[in-house]
Amino acid sequence: MTAVGTKLAEAVGSILHKPADERAFWFEGRWLPWGSLQSTARAIIDVLDKGGVNERAPIAIIIRTRPGFFAALMGLITAGKVR
């Protein structure tokens, strides 16, 4: 991972340590807590690790711009999969 990628992963990784019940962002008329995004991000990291996905393997995500997209992107960045 590059120095920029490492800094990005560290910054995004800090999001995974925010209080789970703290408001993350407003979506479709309600606040979503960090906890829901954190659990999705961690699940993605776990699937990649358990699946034996090579650290340098390209990964693509195609998701509508909804909370799941942000959580997936957060997980991929934290896992060092975004370059």
Give the residue-averaged pLDDT of 5-16.
77
Query: pLDDT tens for residues 51-82?
Result: 998 877 888 888 788 888 888 888 888 877 77
Query: pLDDT tens for residues 21-58?
Result: 999 889 999 999 999 888 888 888 898 889 998 877 88
Domain ranges, ordered by start, for the chain: 3-78
pLDDT of residue 1: 59
CA distance 21 to 28: 18
Contact 8, 77 (CB under 8 A): yes
pTM of this prediction exceeds 0.75: no
